[in-house]
Every structure is written in C-alpha cells, then in structure tokens.
Amino acid sequence: MAEPVAAQISFDQFMAVDIRKGTVLRAEPYPEARKPAIKLWVDFGGEIGVKQSSAQVTVHYTPDALVGRAVMAVVNFPPRQIGKFMSEVLVLGVPDPDGAVVLLAPDLDVPNGARMF
C-alpha cells in the first residue's frame, strides 16, 4: 500500500531541513532498544563533526557492514533520547516492500558535510 502524499510545503520550508552526507565511523549493536537498532557515529566533516544516531536498520545491515558507508541524515533536528542513547541526527532511509529500512546515500562520492538541495 502506498503512503499518502504529504501536504505541500514551500521551498523555504524544505530548505530549512538540513540534510547532509556523512560517513559511518563506528557502529554497534543496540540490544537495549525497544525495536532492534544499531548505534552509529557518523562523520559530517569539519563544520558539523561527528554525530551519533540510533537507526532501526538491522534487517539489511550489520554494524561491521555499516562502517565506512555513506549515509544521508537530517542534522538540524534537536537531539532525541532513545533509551539510554542520545541520537543527534536522523539517518534517512526508505522502506523495502516488507517495511525494513534501506539507507539513502549519494551514488557518487561527495565530501562529508555536503548538503542536499
């Protein structure tokens, strides 16, 4: 079943969401999470630095397979407590046909911190 189409937003509202490319430096299982998740430490380059996130991506990814992987994330949401872990960015993905998350990433190499627009 397709998701309903979201309400329209202005270009300025879209640009207020700061989505950047990062590279996963470290990844660990997060067995304490209510839903299966992996803790990520993502490098967004000099301006933003390394930020952490909890991602429910355990169906398609292992912590070892995520290290070195490019990801896209929203970097300007306020930090959010996920159990005992503080998630500082929202790593982006889309659901596969079964609802498991598939991570979004650029298909060519771009610098860490590159902004999506």
Percent of the chain topping pLDDT 90: 87
Taking the CB of residue 89, how many other CB atoms lie within 10 A of it?
26
Instruction: Enumerate the domain spans of the chain.
Output: 17-103
Mean pLDDT along residues 43-61 = 97
pLDDT at 4: 76
Percent of the chain topping pLDDT 70: 97
What count of residues does the chain have?
Answer: 117
What CATH number labels 17-103?
2.40.50.140
pTM of the predicted model, to two decimals?
Answer: 0.91
Six-digit token pair at 83? 């159990």
